[in-house]
Amino acid sequence: MDHQDTILKELQELKSILSIVIGTSDRVGEDRFSTEALNEAGKLFKKMSIERGDWVDEDDLPKYLGPCPYNGGSFIRKEFAFSGWVKKGHQYRYSKKDLGALGAELKLHDIDLKRYQEFLDDKAAFDRKTARDSFKSTQIKPYNFPKGVRNITTTEIPKPDPEVVRQDLAQLRQAFKDGKYEAYVNIYKGTHAMLKHIYVFQKYLEPGLKRRCQKWCEDFNYANHALELITGKKEKFVVADPKAIEL
């Protein structure tokens, strides 16, 4: 199809859309702009936009958003309430213009989408683990109650002095600096530590470094969670590299 044929086809489609919006000659007033007519016109306009290349498949998302997690379209629809999409059969297509706007904001806020999902997954797993541990400590199971057994109770242990936990966090911060862990550990929002992707070169790392970094992350997250349970808030660890603390 040459350029003139393409223009003619698009004009015909625009004429069809316009005729739907205007309505038929036997309708008057507001009836000429019925919801059904406007919806049908919208569908035709989106169809024409797709054919013009204004919409892209999910495989093209990294071109506009940078590294994307698996099923990145679903991720941006859920986490960012991204609405610039249409569904054709079982396939989603995304607006180039809206992807460009989202990509610019991701860059402005220094967000790597793939890493962001990993952070959410890691934090959710940690929260589930602490919730399970808490549930196990309070779960009551049905038993055949022995006759005459009573007055066998205990009380909760006293909560640790928050200063003890803060001292532990201070020691962890010092160990972080002494070990130069900032090269191998991310601390998101100043309160949740994660090991960076070091498996590619782990064969060439100092022996035991990965294990020490992983243990440091676990100890830091544990101590901050304990402090939150005691005082109601966590303590932020501000690292010199802003990319290590901000999402």
Q: What are 69-120's pLDDT values in tens digits?
A: 888 999 999 999 999 888 877 889 899 999 999 999 999 999 898 888 888 8
Write down the pLDDT at residue 242. 45
Q: Give the DSSP H/E element, type plus range, for residue 170.
A: helix 162-178
The predicted pLDDT at position 146 comes to 67
The model's pLDDT over 180-218, given as tens digits with 9 standing for 90+, comes to 999 899 999 899 999 888 767 778 888 888 899 999 999
- Hey, CA dihedral for 224, 225, 226, 231, is it positive or negative? positive
Identify the pLDDT of residue 90: 83
- The pLDDT of residue 99: 93
pTM above 0.95, yes or no: no
Which two tokens mark 118? 């990993």
At 127 the pLDDT is 86
* Mean predicted confidence (pLDDT) in 122-147: 72
Rounded distance, CA 179 to CA 98, Å? Answer: 43
pLDDT of residue 145 exceeding 50, the answer is yes
pLDDT at residue number 38: 57
Helix (H, G, I), strand (E, B) or coil at 94: strand
Sorting pLDDT into bands at 50, 70 and 90, what band is 163? very high
Residue 51: C-alpha distances to residues 9, 112, 166, 212 (Å): 11, 31, 60, 54
Question: How many Å separate Cα 88 from the centre of its chain?
Answer: 25
What is the average pLDDT value for the chain, to the nearest integer?
Answer: 79
The set of residues, in sequence order, having a beta carbon less than 8 Å from that of 226 and lying 6+ positions away, is 160, 165
Task: Delimit the domains of the chain by residue range.
Answer: 3-108, 158-244
Query: Confidence class of residue 20 from pLDDT cuts 50, 70 and 90?
Result: low
